[in-house]
Amino acid sequence: MSRSIIITGGAGFIGSHVVRRFVTKYPHYRIINVDKLTYAGNLENIKDIEQAPNYVFEHADICDEERMNEIFSQYKVDGVIHLAAESHVDRSITDPLIFVKTNLIGTANLLHIARKHWSGNFDGKKFHHVSTDEVFGSLEMDYGYFTEETAYDPRSPYSASKAGSDHLVKAFYHTYHMPVVLTNCSNNYGPNHFPEKLIPLMINNIIHMRPLPVYGKGENVRDWLHVKDHARAIDLVFHEGKAGETYNVGGHNEWKNIDLVFFLCDLMDEKLGREQGTSKGLITYVTDRAGHDLRYAIDAGKIEKELGWTPDYTFEQGLSETADWYLSNQEWLDHVTSGEYRKYYEEMYK
């Protein structure tokens, strides 16, 4: 094997797409998926590649110094792509401490262990931190984009914990010259998205004719990107990104939540053979999220100019394929909503 790369959070939504891409595209790399399997970790997401000879799963917590040390020693790790995190804003409002623990302390622990193992020889090493556009705060409704120069202004416990982790990664570059790269990405969508997040939640509820909870008036804006376009950007930045640099990743694809939900309702009615307007009748306006950021929008000019990345998917194509994926993978959805997916690890690995 020419490289040993840890991908943290590889059983989660985005991580599973990154793991699959690296395992299949780089058979000469050993890919070590390090995941604690929280409620968001689901090994069913990657069961198609778990027998690949260049893939290993390590059930571990990134906050565990001893285990991380062992894993770095055992595999002689020379690259890290760090996705493991608590990722859901609503959960950070009710339970902020686990976000600080995993996102901040977990990242600090990984940086510390990587530095210890790589110290004195950073040749051929790379630490890629996968972060979010939410660290930049909230934009006005009608103007402005987040660039790599936008000042940090996180406003939820989730985004504050991610902002702190970004600062730690940059500090390891400035202080120790560790070769780090960062990507700050907008909202992802696609297969294997946990159905607590807007798009899969709406799809699941439409399938089961349940209410569709829209926060506030549904006026908030998000910039949506297909998860495979994000995985491709991560691949590019991990290999070609310049040490110490940040790259913003986004779809130039802004939607008001309510317009997106209307669009999804029509799409799903068509796919389910229901009369148009059926799903829209399920929309329920509910109490707004506390501190709800109004608008996110990414200027992805730097990654486009410097590394030649632009999204492949149009939203219409991506959303239609995503809806099809959920409709033909209802077992995946049922396992997640019933908790059945938690048994997979016990059955396959114990």
Dig out the tokens for 339 from the structure: 């908790």
CA distance 110 to 114: 6
d(CA 68, CA 112): 10
| Interacting partner of 213 out of ligand NAD, ligand DAU, none (Cβ under 5 to 8 A depending on kind) | ligand DAU
Query: Which residues 6+ apart lie within 8 Å of 168 measured at CB?
Result: 104, 107, 108, 111
84 binds, among ligand NAD, ligand DAU, none (CB under 5 to 8 A by kind): ligand NAD
Q: Which of residues 213-242 bind ligand DAU (CB under 6 A)?
A: 213-215, 220, 222
Give residue for tokens 């297909």. Answer: 226
DSSP state of 11: T
Contacted entry of ligand DAU, ligand NAD, none for residue 130, CB cut-off 5 to 8 Å set by kind: ligand NAD
Q: Is residue 284 within 8 Å of residue 217, measured between CB atoms? A: no
Q: Are 190 and 198 in contact (CB under 8 A)?
A: no
Q: How many residues bind ligand NAD (CB under 6 A)?
A: 30
Binds 172: which of ligand NAD, ligand DAU, none (CB < 5-8 Å by kind): none
Q: Which is nearer to ligand DAU, 201 or 282 (CB)?
A: 201
How is residue 103 annotated by DSSP?
A: I
User: Should residue 19 be labelled a site residue for ligand DAU when binding is judged by CB under 6 A?
Assistant: no
Nearer of residues 11 and 265 to ligand NAD, judged by Cβ: 11
Q: Does residue 132 bind ligand DAU (CB under 6 A)?
A: yes
Closest approach of ligand NAD to the CB of residue 157, in Å:
13
Tell me the backbone φ, ψ of residue 217, rounded to 5 degrees: -100, 5
CA dihedral 270, 275, 276, 279 (to 10 degrees): -90
Q: Taking CA 120 as the corner, what is the angle to CA 118 and CA 125, rounded to the nearest 5 degrees?
A: 40
Catalytic residue list contains 133:
yes
**Residues composing the chain:** 350
Which residues of the shown chain bind ligand DAU in the complex (CB under 6 A)?
87-89, 132-134, 186-187, 197-198, 201, 213-215, 220, 222, 257, 289, 296
Residues forming the active site: 133-134, 158
Which residues of the shown chain bind ligand NAD in the complex (CB under 6 A)?
8-9, 11-15, 35-38, 40-41, 61-63, 83-87, 102, 106, 130, 132, 162, 185, 187-188, 194
